[in-house]
Amino acid sequence: MAIVFLYGINSCGKDTIASILVKNMENCMITGESRLLMYRLGLINNYESHYPVKASAYKALEQVDSEVIEKVSNLEIPQTIKQIADKGKNLIVLSHLVYALFQKNTETIYLSNRPIPSWICNYGDCFVYIKSSPHDIQRRRMKDFNDDINRRKIQTLEEIKNHQVLSGKKWAELRQLAKKKQFIVVENNHNEAKKAANIVSKFISKLNKG
């Protein structure tokens, strides 16, 4: 069974692709790095992605001391991932190469200096980077905003491109740190999530067959 880290900036299609993968793969679970963090901090009771997370949990997470978050991220989250893997499940972990903090009426803050935790390189069997065109990403964010699914700040195309550049640099860094692992970049444009998921599914199947 494989532990897969699925990366990409907000609205690139990670959640949609992961949902398709779970339907098409046996014994597969989806979680997210932030969900695992909230679970270990006691802010939520379940780390699986199909369980909704209340806004109050995210607000509570923002109040947690950074040293506590770092300790939990580096010591406790890897333990949870190992426990899931020991059950023989394919595990898909949704995450970001560079986190973006969207502040109201202020410039977006990018956490590009955040080091890549060593446990990600140790536990991850393969790494998937989902890319989308800036126009597609902006369109999806506008739809989510208008549908009241996500009311985060709508970034300009230039801001989205900047986030992609920073994420690309972090992806290159990850490839250097985990040279012996498997990497794949998948394009998800023009509502082609099923096609993208199929590529990822074949990639994971090949990995499981060794």
Residue 24 pLDDT > 90, yes or no? no
Using a pLDDT cut of 90, give the percent of the chain over it: 50
Buried b or exposed e, range 8-36, using 16+ CB within 10 angstroms? bbbbbbbbbbbbbbbeebeebbbbbbbbb
Helix (H) or strand (E) holding 128: strand 126-131
d(CA 208, CA 49): 23
Mean confidence (pLDDT) of the chain: 88
pLDDT, one tens digit per residue, over 192-206 is 899 999 999 888 888
Separation between Cα atoms, residue 126 and residue 92, nearest integer Å: 10
Q: How much is the pLDDT for 150?
A: 59
Reported as a pLDDT band with limits 50, 70 and 90, residue 61 is confident
The pLDDT, as a whole number, for residue 41 is 96
pLDDT of residue 90: 85
Provide mean pLDDT across the span 142-171.
83
> Domains in the chain and their CATH numbers?
3-209 (3.40.50.300)
Distance of CA 198 to the CA centre of its chain: 18
pLDDT reported for residue 66: 83
The predicted structure's pLDDT at residue 44: 96
The sign of the torsion formed by the CA atoms of 93, 201, 12, 133 equals: positive
Give the Cα separation of 3 and 149 in Å (integer).
Answer: 29
The stretch 16-25 carries a mean pLDDT of 88
> Among 90-99, 147-156, 172-181, which is the least confidently predicted range?
147-156
pTM flag (> 0.85): yes
What are the residues whose beta carbons fall under 8 Å from the beta carbon of 65, sequence distance 6 or more?
Answer: none
Amino acid in the structure at residue 31: T
Q: What is the mean pLDDT of residues 20-28?
A: 84
Residue 123: DSSP 8-state: H
Q: Does residue 156 surpass a pLDDT of 80? A: yes
Residue 210 CB neighbour total at 10 angstroms? 4
Looking at residue 75, what DSSP letter applies? I
Read off the pLDDT of residues 117-148 as tens digits, 9 standing for 90 and up. Answer: 888 998 999 999 999 999 999 998 888 777 76
Residue 184 burial (10 A CB sphere; 0-12, 13-18, 19+): middle
